[in-house]
Amino acid sequence: AQSVTQLGSHVSVSEGALVLLRCNYSSSVPPYLFWYVQYPNQGLQLLLKYTSAATLVKGINGFEAEFKKSETSFHLTKPSAHMSDAAEYFCAVSDPDLSGGYNKLIFGAGTRLAVHP
């Protein structure tokens, strides 16, 4: 069964510093991986997705993630944090049910990013 582990429930960085949010996955099939961001009182917004093409994936708002099969990781990075990046970030793996013909997302517990001046 697919699963996702996000290391660090809270991460705090200074404005302008590197952002690194960690995600490790477990998957019995070639994984499809996603990062979503959730601002207070809002739904989830798709940041980027990995779908077995390039291992370095670029997303919106300057974020990118690198798929490393040997480490079963899909960490999210941003070179320079901005105050507006403060939010909750969720890593997710697609969990296909081949017999049922459907697909659901399995989410990690989330990492809350704080950015201070």
Partner 1 sequence: DAGVTQSPTHLIKTRGQQVTLRCSPISGHKSVSWYQQVLGQGPQFIFQYYEKEERGRGNFPDRFSARQFPNYSSELNVNALLLGDSALYLCASSLSIGNQPQHFGDGTRLSIL
Residues that bind partner 1 (CB under 8 A): 4, 32, 34, 36, 41-46, 49, 51, 90, 92, 94, 96-97, 100-110
Minimum CB distance to partner 1, residue 43 (Å)? 4
- Using DSSP's 3-state secondary structure scheme, residue 54 falls into coil
Q: Nearer to partner 1 by C-beta: 62 or 110?
A: 110
| 4 contacts 93 by C-beta, under 8 angstroms | yes
Minimum CB distance to partner 1, residue 56 (Å)? 18
Helix (H) / strand (E) element for 106: namely strand 102-107
Minimum CB distance to partner 1, residue 88 (Å)? 9
Q: Nearer to partner 1 by C-beta: 17 or 86?
A: 86
Minimum CB distance to partner 1, residue 103 (Å)? 5
Q: Nearer to partner 1 by C-beta: 12 or 51?
A: 51
* 57 C-beta neighbours (distance < 10 Å), count: 21
Cα–Cα distance for residue pair 38/6, rounded to 1 Å: 15
Handedness of CA 102, 2, 108, 77 (dihedral sign): negative
